[in-house]
Amino acid sequence: MFSQEFQAYSSQAASDEITWKKPRTILVVIAWSIISTSIMLNAFLSGSQTLGYTFWSISTAAPLLLLFVVSVLAGVLLADIKSIVLGVFEALALTIFLTYTGIALPLLVGNAPSFYANAILETAIYEVFSMFFPLIPFSFLIGAVMGGFLEDWLF
C-alpha cells in the first residue's frame, strides 16, 4: 500500500518536475538577466562603467562581484550542467541586449534630440562592449558552474 502510494507520488512529482522545469529555466534566465542588467546599468549610470578595463578598483569590482554572486544563485536554481551552459549564453545575450536598450533608452522613447542619435547609439555600443568584455562572460560562466556544484552539494 505504502509502496504504491510512494510510486504514484514519485511519478506525479517527476511529471510535475518535467512540466515545471522548462518554464522555471526560462524564468530563472530572465530574472538572471534582469538582475545583471540592473547591476550593469547602475554601474553605468553611477560612472563606473568601464568594467572590462578597470577591473582593479573597488567601484568596478563591486558590480563584478555582484554579478558573480547572482550567477552562483542562478546556477543553484538551474542545477544541471546543460541548463547552466545554455542559460549562461542566453542570460548573457539578454543582459547585453537589455543593457544596450537601457543606454539607448532616451533615444528609443524619443527624449533625445535627433542630433545625438548617432552619438547615443555609438556610445551605447561602445559602453556595452567595454563593460561586458572580457570579464563578465567569465563571471557568468564560473559563477553559474559553481552554483551547479553547490546545488549538488547542498541538496
Output the nine-digit C-alpha cell for 132. 561586458
Distance CA 134, CA 110 (A): 32
Which residue stretch of 52-60, 80-88, 117-125, 134-142 sits at the interface with other proteins (rule: CB under 8 A)?
117-125
Q: Map residues 77-106 to x or -, x wherever contact with other proteins holds by CB under 8 A.
A: x------------------------x--xx
Distance CA 84, CA 72 (A): 10
Does residue number 44 form part of the binding site for other proteins (CB under 8 A)?
yes
Does residue number 144 form part of the binding site for other proteins (CB under 8 A)?
no
Output the nine-digit C-alpha cell for 105. 533608452
Distance CA 89, CA 103 (A): 21
Contact partners, residue 2, CB within 8 Å, separation at least 6: none
Question: What is the binding site for other proteins (CB under 8 A)?
Answer: 2, 5-6, 9, 13, 24, 27-28, 31-32, 34-35, 37-39, 41-42, 44-47, 49, 70, 73-74, 76-77, 102, 105-107, 109, 111-113, 115-116, 118-120, 122-123, 127, 154-155
